[in-house]
Every structure is written in C-alpha cells, then in structure tokens.
Amino acid sequence: MNLALFDAKPYDLPAFKEQAAKSGIEIKFYETKLTVDTAELAKGADAVCVFVNDTVNKEVIDKLYEYGVKLIALRCAGYNNVDVKSAYKKIHVVRVPAYSPYAVAEHAMALLLTSIRRIHKAYNRTREFNFSLSGLTGFDLHGKTVGVIGTGRIGSIFIDICKGFGMNVLAFDQYPKADLGVKYVDLPELFEKSDVISLHCPLTSETTHLINDDNIAKMKKGVIIVNTSRGALIDADALLRGIKDRKIGGACLDVYEEESNIFFKDFSGHIVNDDTLARLISMPNVILTSHQAFLTEEALKNIAETTVKNIVDFFKEGRCDNELCYHCGNLENCMKVRKEKCF
C-alpha cells in the first residue's frame, strides 16, 4: 500500500515512520502542500495524507481520482479544506476526529494567560535586563465570565480548565450537552456578557466570520477573543477595527483566515505582503502562534497511529469508523451502523 503524505514537516516523520514500519505501508513524504499543481506527485499512490492547509477542492479531487487514488486521509480533525461533496462516489475521506483535545484546550489557556498577564512583554523585557513593571498590569481570571462557542471535545476540556480558575462559564452550541454543567445561552447574550470569548466550533458556512463587526459591537469593552479553531471564524479586518477602536482588549490567535500560504514556513528574512496580518502582529495586545495548538508529543503519536489505522481499516477491513460520509448527510456521525465503506 502506497501513501503520499503532503506538507510533511520534520516533526511528522518519526511517528509516521514508526507506524509505517509496523503496518507495512510505504510512505513517500512530500514537503510541498497538495494543490492542483502538486497533485501529480500522488500518481501511483493508493492514498494521500493531507493536513489543514492542503487544498483538496474539486479540481484536486478529480485529478487524484484520475490517478487512481482511493482514499484521502486527513491527519487532523477539521475538514473544511476538503470538498467532501465532490469526493462522494470518487474518493473516500477519513480523518482523525480526536488526537489530543487537551493539547488544543491547554494552548488556548496558555495564550489567554500570556495575553492578560503580559508574559510576552515581560519575557522580552527581562532578557534586556529591563525589570520595570510599567504597562504589565493584568487582571484576574477568577470571577470573570468566559463565553465558549462550541462545546465538543476541545470546548468541554477548555470549560473544565476555566472552571478550575474560578471563572463563570457561558456556552453556545448548536447541540447543547445536558451533562456539561454549564449555562447555555444564545449568541447575543454570550457576546454581551463575556469578558473572554473562546472559539471551539468547526468552520462551516454558518460559522464563517462569526466574529464580525456586528457581533463585536455587541461585546463588552475590553473583551479578550481566543481562537484556536479555524481562522475564518473571525473576520480579521473587523477584529483589527475592534482593536483600533479599543473595543477588543486582546486577541489570542493560533489560526488566521489567510494562513495557508504563510503558516508553517520561515518568512523571517522576507517581506510578508499580508497587511492585515502585519498590522495584527504589530499590536501589543495580539498574540499569534502559527497553528501550533495541536503540537504535543502525545498528539503527534495519536495522529500517526489513528491515520495509519484509518488507512489499514479502509484497505484491509473494507470499512473505517472515521470516514466522513457526505451521503449519510451527517458527516461526522454516520446514521447507519458502518459495516462497510459508504459507497
């Protein structure tokens, strides 16, 4: 079985090589991302393995199909970059639904604490032997209200962490969970009452630019926005306006709408042409990490294990629990008991 793994990074290799050796899968690692121009590299492969910023649109899917690729194995949870509808009846799509929700939830809290206690500022100052405290005043999380949008695997762990800090939690989810012990409210109320808003819902047509001018206007002055989910949940220009207006007190971002050609690469010696990103980074109250919330040893091991298991299940067992099934109308939880492939 041959696998073409795109957007391969040095940290991906050890775990994938170990799993490949165990399962007998032959993996070709490509540093380049999958795009319509690089799809040709998948010729001769039974499956391709892709990550968050690979382009898997109709054009790419049609090419892969033409080359005889039978499976697209996402090595991540989110699948907004895959046109699952276009893949139906051509190529099956599987993903890793959970690899370490703790990694992402803990990173969200790390960003939040760094922002509100100005750790990023203090770190740079003390390295220059500047021990002044001016401008480093933060605020307690204890007693503050956090609004969590999306209370799935990651959101619910983030809620537990926030409760540990003594925060009041308000939540919004299309499918509220009765046993979570939080107060679900509608979005306007969440925007109006939260001191911190953390996004943990997937990117869909409904959630695109959920954080926009209108919704920012409903928020408290000084609100801190945390996004470790997907960049396009936030209209970055609206965020910038909110920061310039002093309405938004801080933004903690692990993702950015236009990240796909920028993140995971070293541009330190280059001029980056994205003015919105450059302006955001220049703000003292914006912290940006480049989609690294998932990046823990535990997560990398789980990603490789589940991805390879998905591929083995698909080719050897003829089915895979983690198939994204467009046909069933419920992408994540197939309505049928999956005893075979979906088409």
Active-site residue set: 230, 259, 291
Task: Please pick, from the candidates 54, 173, 259, 323, the single residue that binds ligand NAI as defined by CB under 6 A.
Answer: 173
In three-state secondary structure terms, 19 is helix
Phi, psi of 323 (to 5 degrees): -70, 140
Query: How far apart are alpha carbons 168 and 165 in whole angstroms?
Result: 9
- 294 is a contact residue toward ligand NAI (CB under 6 A): yes
Closer residue to ligand NAI (CB): 64 or 203: 203
Cα 336 to Cα 70, 254, 325: the distances in Å are 22, 35, 10
Q: Which of 150, 231, 249, 250 binds ligand NAI (CB under 6 A)?
A: 150
Q: Does 1 bind ligand NAI (CB under 6 A)?
A: no
Q: Does 175 bind ligand NAI (CB under 6 A)?
A: yes
Judged by CB under 6 A, does residue 227 bind ligand NAI? no
Residue 72's identity, in one-letter code, is: I
Asked if 31 is part of the footprint of ligand NAI (rule: CB under 6 A), the reply reads no
Helices (H), ranges, the chain: 13-23, 58-66, 84-87, 101-116, 119-127, 153-164, 187-193, 213-218, 236-244, 275-282, 297-312
Q: Does 32 bind ligand NAI (CB under 6 A)?
A: no
Q: Residues 50, 230, 285, 304: which binds ligand NAI (CB under 6 A)?
A: 230
| Residue nearer to ligand NAI on the CB measure, 101 or 147 | 101
Residue 77 interacting with ligand NAI (CB under 6 A): yes
**How many chain residues are in contact with ligand NAI, going by CB under 6 A?**
31
The single residue listed with the structure tokens 């919330």 is 293
Give the Cα separation of 98 and 2 in Å (integer): 24
Q: Which stretch binds ligand NAI (CB under 6 A): 36-44, 148-156, 236-244, 279-287?
A: 148-156
Residue of 267, 215, 204, 264 lying closest to 239 (CA atoms): 215
Q: Which is nearer to ligand NAI, 141 or 190 (CB)?
A: 190
Q: Which residue's entry shows tokens 């604490």? A: 113
* Residue 81 binds to ligand NAI (criterion: CB under 6 A): no
Close Cβ partners of 125 (under 8 Å, ≥ 6 residues apart): 131, 132
Please identify, using beta-carbon distances, which residue of 45 and 84 lies nearer to ligand NAI: 84
Q: Under the criterion CB under 6 A, does residue 228 sit at the interface with ligand NAI?
A: yes
Please identify, using beta-carbon distances, which residue of 151 and 322 lies nearer to ligand NAI.
151
HEC profile of 217-270: HHCCCCEEEEECCCHHHECHHHHHHHHHCCCEEEEEECCCCCHHHCCCCCCCCC
Residues in 251-280 at the binding interface with ligand NAI, rule: CB under 6 A: 254-255
Does 172 participate in binding ligand NAI (rule CB under 6 A)? yes
For ligand NAI, which residue of 51, 91, 94, 101 counts as binding (CB under 6 A)? 101
Asked if 160 contacts 177 with a C-beta cutoff of 8 angstroms, the reply is: no
By three-state DSSP, how is residue 26 classified? Answer: strand
Smallest gap from residue 232 Cβ to ligand NAI (A): 10
**Closest approach of Cβ 325 to ligand NAI, in Å?**
15
Q: How far is the CB of 303 from ligand NAI (least distance, A)?
A: 10
Q: Which residue is nearest to ligand NAI (CB)?
A: 152
The enclosing H or E element of 47 equals: strand 47-50
Q: Max alpha carbon distance in the chain (Å)? A: 65
Q: Least separation, in Å, of the C-beta of 108 and ligand NAI?
A: 9
Query: Residue 277 CB, nearest distance to ligand NAI (Å)?
Result: 17
Q: Which residues would be at the binding site for ligand NAI (CB under 6 A)?
A: 77-78, 98, 101, 104, 149-155, 172-175, 200-204, 206-207, 228-230, 254-255, 291, 293-294
